[in-house]
Amino acid sequence: MCNGPLDQYLGLGSETRRTSTWVPNPYGIEIGDPKTIPNGYEERWVLDIHAIDTRGVKDRLGCTECKCSLYNVTKDESGYPLRKNYIGGLNCCYDKTQCQLREGFGGGEIRKLYLRYSVKWTQWNESIIPVKIYILDVTDTGRIPGGASSSCKDGRVLCTSMPTYGNGNEAGNEEGYVVGMSTCYPEPGSVKIEDGEFLTIESNYNNSQMHTGVMGLFYIMIAEPQPEPKSVILFHNLSLLWRRELTKCWPALFLVGGVVAIIITISYSRRYNEGYLSL
Q: Total structural domains in the chain?
A: 2
Strand arrangement of the beta sheet that strand 129-137 belongs to: 27-28, 129-137, 217-223
Verify that 139 and 209 share a domain, yes or no: yes
Of 38, 88, 74, 94, the C-alpha closest to 214 is 88
For residue 59, the model assigns a pLDDT of 93
* Residue 103 resides in a domain: no
| Number of CB atoms found within 10 A of residue 57's CB | 19
* Residue 78 resides in a domain: no
Verify that 214 and 259 share a domain, yes or no: no
Q: Rounded mean pLDDT of 201-230? A: 78
Banded model confidence at residue 141, pLDDT cuts 50, 70, 90: low
Verify that 200 and 248 share a domain, yes or no: no
For residue 116, the model assigns a pLDDT of 81
Does residue 121 or residue 151 have the better pLDDT?
121
Verify that 30 and 139 share a domain, yes or no: yes
* Residue 130 resides in a domain: yes
Output the CA–CA distances (angstroms, integers) from residue 266 to 171, 255, 256, 262, 269, in the order listed. Answer: 82, 17, 15, 6, 5
Banded model confidence at residue 43, pLDDT cuts 50, 70, 90: confident
Verify that 134 and 39 share a domain, yes or no: yes
Domain enclosing residue 45, as ranges: 1-49+115-226
* Residue 106 resides in a domain: no
Verify that 34 and 127 share a domain, yes or no: yes
* Residue 70 resides in a domain: no
Distance of CA 102 to the CA centre of its chain: 40
Number of helices (H), then strands (E), belonging to the chain: the values are 4, 5
Three-class DSSP category at 64: helix
Q: Rounded mean pLDDT of 238-256? A: 45
Amino acid at position 146, single letter: G
Verify that 143 and 243 share a domain, yes or no: no
* Residue 69 resides in a domain: no
DSSP state of 233: H
* Residue 33 resides in a domain: yes
Verify that 181 and 235 share a domain, yes or no: no
Whether 100 has a pLDDT exceeding 90, the answer reads yes
Q: Strands of the chain (E only): list them.
A: 27-28, 129-137, 163-165, 178-181, 217-223
Three-class DSSP category at 277: coil
Q: What is the mean pLDDT of the chain?
A: 75
DSSP state of 53: -
Does residue 125 or residue 205 have the better pLDDT?
125
